[in-house]
Structure 1
């Protein structure tokens, strides 16, 4: 038994050294998919430098592995062999890596599998050259479960024993099994294992000695299992009060040596593969191994090469010199005196590049080869190993592709177009040179995906792009569309994209190709014209010589009630009462015969027909518009209904002078209210901007600064929205005393409030909770509701307690068929006995705060009462305040 075990250990060391020094990516894992050995190429190919992987789960190292690969690993653990020429491996950072693999089981004995061997190669570079279709075959990473580790605990005072679920599983007892101090020891095999554990427990209880033991147990089902038991003592009042630790099932690792024996034969099978060329040399460069793949590729036999020749027999001298110089520079040596055979014993060598080999008959063959130093236990190189793959076919395709790309780039330069291609399965994007120029992007950036394009999309056009690709996904059809981009230099451009969609037999999109054109100047001219058109105070309708509508502005939509889609390309008679049809055609013909700007109607009353069938009196001015498509006529149409009714209104005003006076008085009061609302509601966003600026200045982390800077935009947008809303509301109050109610979504108002107060929220750390499940919407004036939320939430933050984390809770209720809205905080609170009578008074403040103005609660009560509601408050000093609003 001793000899067998030593042989097994020796075999294990041999296998591990072979894998560690293999120039290709090789790894060995056990049945739990834990690493036993991995080559340096494996570490390098998968970016694992500096990471200890031995003993760790393959799936822990590669969490991005999917269920399909795990299933393949499981098949191999059951005896299958899986060989893949190439596949894509999507890494957790979003990049795609292409690999090939040979995965097969290795055996502890002839009928017992110990794990799997994985031999992979990184062919990403080759795949990128191969028509950009694929990357490197995905690394095989399928694994079972993490090795079982259970917890245990012994209370030295009460002698109560605790086992967790895994510990019970290791002992093969039921979940309701209750361990006791004595029977816990009885599981350990009588003799050495039990004696060691009892002695360890005695020492731990006596002087706190920690222990780490490998012991055999006899499970409740009679099975023998090797375990690792680790324990330590916990002290209370200077005396050990508790022993605790872990127990791990290590039964499988005890048989690792036998598993490695079987692995050797599997590794030999990989070496004998005819699909790759493997050649190794000694420290003098003389070939030691020359596999069947090398014989097939070069035409030499192993007998001709092994022990007799050096690789320079089939490699050109120029390439050897370049390789030697590159290795010298990489290791800080002088290329003039460096010899990679003489000086290589301490250097790190792992080089992948393309080579031109020459067969025995003198014909060239193109390969991609990885050359690695073979190290001994002293970390000194004892030779080289080169793994090569024939890429002659790929080089031919690459050259053909280069020619076609040159022709395409030339064609694009002539046509001022750019082209693009998107492999939707691998998320791989290819752009032409002109596309790079449009984006002002460095052409050396080649690792592109959909996000590479998406990052250039103008923020305001993201919804347009999202909707377009959603339509493409649903319809499997590409419609031409236009959107804005921001180039690397910050220029805003407008591009127009045309495309074609390709699907597989299942109807799934696998690829899109198309063109891109910079239409910035065209769109600028269009926008200038559209801007002039939209800035016109009158309805503008542009018609061609056949009386067909070509373009309308927003004022036209408001006047006639039609959408642009309902009017464009329709006869202008759609806007004319039927009784004027017979005359209009003659008038139009006369204008196009003598196109001069003039008033239409010659003093006659003119009428237009709205979508709802109502006629309105109008004035029309006609102007000729010369375009590349011919002469158009621009008609400026003004609704003079108000002018017609002016006299009527004056007479009515005389008869209702007293009512008007009352109305003006009410409006003056409302104007005063709005003055307070404006100053108060604008103060919060401005204060929030100052808070954000302070946080921004104090932040040293660039990521935080970018995040805070993005909030400036939201606050400025809300500030602009508040200004516009207040101005519109003021206009409404001046022109119409009626209340314009709308269905207000309380969750949306709260979201807007959070965005406006984002700086104060960040600075204070306040937690805002809401529950609008009882009532989610209320018919109300939006400006009032937004002001109520802004004042009550802002006050809660402003008067937060410094002794606890601020929290605000906003809820709705139904009481006696009336809606109730509550704002509760845990802030400083208000002494209602002392200040309750003036709580909602103007300019009343109850705390010393630099921003306290005594306006917010006054405005809030004014707004609520104006809408027929009532607000009340309950509060306790240093506990918090609740404001309750009863709506009408």
Structure 2
């Protein structure tokens, strides 16, 4: 009897404890498919004690979405695996009230089959709300510490309840400890700032983002202070802003310094542009308005790249990103050929210096811009004069070199025939009869013919070097075709094959007569100096390297010993192989014609391998 009384007493205590702790007991019989809740659970769910729940109605109390999905998944997982679950979730009672609950369950298995799931169900609403409130307070404190907060505030929009720290009461000059509404704070806002504050608040409620905002307050003694507000938003399940909280800092001294800075800006002799950390224009001075032709209203919050030429904007953005990550003083000198562009689209050369400026609104970028148009004109004039001097010097050097070459060639190539004439003249005087004189006179004719040929060649080379002749649109393929027809018999007779590739450049402006002469001389050389050990082959092609153009003639002939004859390659009457048709004039004239067109010619050769002549045509794609 005593034991029964004790057991009953203990049971009553446990039941009372569960009632106080709001802990209910439940189980689900899988055999009978029946769910049992005790009255405590029914009280938590705000349903009558005679209500008979089912699994469907039980899951329906959990808030739709992640809460309902979690309890259902946990319940099924326990049945399948036997692993218990313990989850904190949110429910909506039969009366529409929101409650937080802890649901614990475990399975009972018989012969490997789950026959029952049972557990407890506890109302943890107060504990959860306290935790949420504590977390919110901790966030407020942490947020305030990160920003070196002077005062903090919290506004419950639902109940229009405004809470301030003691320092913020003092900053707004409000009675310490007085219950506040937003109207109390508004009573201290400067009249000229009220409209801006209202617009800012409207934007916050629309975007759910609180960007920092500066406004003035007027204290009872008439003192004006600048305050900077920084905040965050709290929304309900429907995304509606229900609460704002944040910090407030008195930035009056910094603001006064900025106003002073703006005054100094206006007195600066250069154009000044101030941007924020994202490169958006915040302020310009009068000099900038005159230089660019824009007013501040037109440029405010526009990207600073608007003031740079379109072709340079990608580059400006690229370097701008690096600068804004690590702001430092930079002077862009005029040698960088920097340009700005005004409202009319005119390019203006400029010298630019960039400096970061720390302000209450964050880091601002000060850009000083100096128009250096006149300086650039003077530089270009000097460069043009120097270029003309260099051109004149080069021309004089070329003429002197040509004169020196002509003198050398004349003295060298005329010495032999003149000496021969003197010798023959002596023989002629000493001749004993007319028959001997007739023989000597025939030799006179041979020497005179050679002398005449040499003089004509020298005169032709001078004519070429001093005259580019007529420059026309000239086709490489047509010139080759014409030359090939002229050399047809020789090509057929010798079995010489030729491949050409003018795909990189076919048509150019050149002297057509010179080009035909170049093709004829170099192609005929490839035929004349072919190797007896292999079939002769000539390869002709045009080459583009960058924007420069070259013409190349390559053969597989006898080749030339450049170490022995390299300095004589383009000399007059210079031959390097025993060929009865060789005269030593072709390469001499080719070099003269190429140089007359402002180009150059070089040779690469290896004995018994072949020879390659490469001509710089002094022609770029820009000449088209």
Q: TM-score range by the shorter chain?
A: 0.3 to 0.5
TM-score (norm 2): 0.37
| TM-score, scaled to structure 1 | 0.28
Q: Which has the larger radius of gyration?
A: 2
